Chains A and B, each alone.
Chain A
């Protein structure tokens, strides 16, 4: 069965670009355009991987999604989603002079990988494959 990937990004063109690349690689794609919608879809779809933008309805919507999904509280409604790999994708590194390093920043920004816009298809596939094969 094809692995499911949920893309949460407010930029429909970026979503479309990623969808084409990933569908060509036999993934099943689900999309959401806001952080809130994304969290709903996570519960519905149970994806194998979430691709997450940072700035959506506000500057930190993506951060909040990642915190919700990685909540360590066992009573959290996303408790069984804690192990879904998160790939954060954003232009935020250029915007705020911020460079993400999963080893250093993983605690306060609990994502597994970081990919900057514009999305290069081969980079995207490389990182998605790496994250999915880690399981």
Chain B
């Protein structure tokens, strides 16, 4: 997911491009008008209008070339200044203060208010007012008389000085108010954007720190686990040598002590192995370490290794999965981690003559839903939310089996979530537990024979 927000400067330069693009339309529109206008309204000069269009076309080409080299804001102001000069001439040619093109001043004011800073906008607004005033003055004084347009009594408006003053005041008001309104809103938006950028930067920094922290933690646990494992393994090897009689005969008392010691060491080794599993379960797999695993075959294999344990306790272990053509992309050891723990627990906490069922069903959203259900001791309702916590063991589990690290289900949950899956537990104390595991899978097209 890309959280990056485009910085304001980039946005502005994009808009500059847009500004230039819009001007092509203005040139085209003006050229069209210069051809059609004079046919309808007598007095308009095609040549003059075309000349104005030509000038705009010229400087637009220039801006297109300069666009990448020059300071963005500066260029925008310069563009608008030229636009305004052209616009003033255009207004002068098409009826002075009566020209409908005067409206384009407001249009420009809004555009520039959105793109540049507030001070610059007011300055630009001021320039536009000065230009309009200048136009009125030169027209009124006759320094540069308005071309006569038939049917419009333009000169009459210029005779009334009070009207002209009103006109200038209204124009100035509209321009300045537009700048004020637009820049206020834009400023607010920018502030919000800046906040957003800061937040996003903080967020990605924190995320990066978390990822590094997690990696460091994993490294630490792996190292510690290995450092613990080596002496443990050596100790267990030595105990085995003594217990198997390679160091001479030992009496029953000593044997009992050695057996007890070995049991504790195995317990500790299990804990260390599970800690390692917990770390590995949560580690994101690089793509090249993933392989396509046929889920049906993998789980059949995993369960076949557990049948012995089930038979010992006279527990009926059943596996059913109608969709045999489902592929899981990942690490087979992760599948082992998940099912060895879940089914192992089910067998461990189910009294003799009970059953353990593993049922896989493909859902329409390409998730495989596994139910691992047993007729075991269950989990007390208020402890259900905690069973996935690290080192947590349900109170009745602790009573029923002394051994256990309380890590198995955390390993399972971490491993499943790594693949974007989910696990839920439904349980009734004394009746049994039912884990629902959702795993994302790929479904192969060809239907192989259905297995049970």
Cβ of A17 and Cβ of B226 under 8 Å apart? no
Chain B 254-276 against A: per-residue CB contact (8 Å), 1 yes, 0 no? Answer: 00000000000000010001001
From B234, which residue of chain A is reached at the shortest CB distance?
A13
Q: Which of A1-52 contact B (CB under 8 A)?
A: 11, 13-14, 16-18, 20-21, 24
B-side contacts of A95, CB under 8 Å? 222, 226, 229, 276
Cβ of A91 and Cβ of B240 under 8 Å apart? no
Cβ of A118 and Cβ of B226 under 8 Å apart? no
A64 to chain B, nearest CB (A): 20
A-side contacts of B247, CB under 8 Å? 20
A132 within 8 A of B: no
* Contact A91/B230 with A13-B237, A16-B238, A119-B237 known, Cβ cut-off 8 Å: yes
Most buried by B among A14, A17, A122: A17
A-side contacts of B229, CB under 8 Å? 91, 94-95, 117
A74 within 8 A of B: no
Cβ of A118 and Cβ of B240 under 8 Å apart? yes
Whole-angstrom distance between the alpha carbons of A91 and B241 in the complex?
Answer: 18
From B272, which residue of chain A is reached at the shortest CB distance?
A94
A126 within 8 A of B: no
From B247, which residue of chain A is reached at the shortest CB distance?
A20
B322 to chain A, nearest CB (A): 31
Cβ of A14 and Cβ of B234 under 8 Å apart? yes
Chain B 225-262 against A: per-residue CB contact (8 Å), 1 yes, 0 no? Answer: 01001111111111011001011000000000000000
* Dominant secondary structure at the A interface: helix
Which of A94, A97, A121 contacts B241, CB < 8 Å? A121
Cβ of B246 and Cβ of A94 under 8 Å apart? no
Which of B235, B244, B269 contacts A13, CB < 8 Å? B235
B333 within 8 A of A: yes
From A24, which residue of chain B is reached at the shortest CB distance?
B246
B280 within 8 A of A: yes
Cβ of A117 and Cβ of B233 under 8 Å apart? yes
Cβ of A17 and Cβ of B240 under 8 Å apart? yes
Cβ of A91 and Cβ of B233 under 8 Å apart? yes
Most buried by B among A17, A118, A120: A118
Cβ of A119 and Cβ of B240 under 8 Å apart? yes
B-side contacts of A11, CB under 8 Å? 230, 234
Whole-angstrom distance between the alpha carbons of A13 and B246 in the complex?
Answer: 15
Cβ of B246 and Cβ of A21 under 8 Å apart? yes
Cβ of A118 and Cβ of B241 under 8 Å apart? no
Chain A 92-135 against B: per-residue CB contact (8 Å), 1 yes, 0 no? Answer: 00110100000000000000000001111110000000000000
Cβ of B273 and Cβ of A17 under 8 Å apart? no
B-side contacts of A17, CB under 8 Å? 234, 237-238, 240-241
A-side contacts of B276, CB under 8 Å? 94-95
Cβ of A121 and Cβ of B234 under 8 Å apart? no
* Contact A91/B237 with A20-B247, A21-B246, A121-B244 known, Cβ cut-off 8 Å: no
B-side contacts of A91, CB under 8 Å? 226, 229-230, 233
A-side contacts of B237, CB under 8 Å? 13-14, 17-18, 117-120
B333 to chain A, nearest CB (A): 6
Whole-angstrom distance between the alpha carbons of A94 and B273 in the complex?
Answer: 8
Whole-angstrom distance between the alpha carbons of A97 and B289 in the complex?
Answer: 11
Chain B 167-205 against A: per-residue CB contact (8 Å), 1 yes, 0 no? Answer: 000000000000000000000000000000000000000
From A11, which residue of chain B is reached at the shortest CB distance?
B234
B-side contacts of A120, CB under 8 Å? 237, 240
Whole-angstrom distance between the alpha carbons of A20 and B226 in the complex?
Answer: 25
Cβ of B233 and Cβ of A14 under 8 Å apart? yes
A53 to chain B, nearest CB (A): 10
A-side contacts of B230, CB under 8 Å? 11, 91, 117
Cβ of B244 and Cβ of A122 under 8 Å apart? yes
Cβ of A121 and Cβ of B226 under 8 Å apart? no
Whole-angstrom distance between the alpha carbons of A41 and B226 in the complex?
Answer: 28
A-side contacts of B241, CB under 8 Å? 17, 20-21, 121
Cβ of A20 and Cβ of B246 under 8 Å apart? yes
Whole-angstrom distance between the alpha carbons of A119 and B236 in the complex?
Answer: 8
A51 to chain B, nearest CB (A): 13
Chain B 135-162 against A: per-residue CB contact (8 Å), 1 yes, 0 no? Answer: 0000000000000000000000000000
B-side contacts of A94, CB under 8 Å? 229, 273, 276
A-side contacts of B222, CB under 8 Å? 95
Chain A 68-80 against B: per-residue CB contact (8 Å), 1 yes, 0 no? Answer: 0000000000000
Chain B 386-410 against A: per-residue CB contact (8 Å), 1 yes, 0 no? Answer: 0000000000000000000000000
A30 to chain B, nearest CB (A): 18
A-B pairs, 6 with minimum CB distance: A118-B236, A117-B233, A13-B234, A17-B237, A118-B233, A119-B237
Q: Which residues of B contact A (CB under 8 A)?
A: 222, 226, 229-238, 240-241, 244, 246-247, 269, 273, 276, 280, 331, 333
A sample of 19 cross-chain residue pairs with beta-carbon separation below 8 angstroms, ordered by A number, consists of A11-B234, A13-B231, A13-B237, A16-B238, A17-B238, A17-B240, A17-B241, A21-B246, A91-B229, A95-B276, A97-B333, A117-B233, A118-B232, A118-B235, A118-B269, A119-B240, A121-B240, A121-B246, A122-B244
Q: Which residues of A contact B (CB under 8 A)?
A: 11, 13-14, 16-18, 20-21, 24, 91, 94-95, 97, 117-122
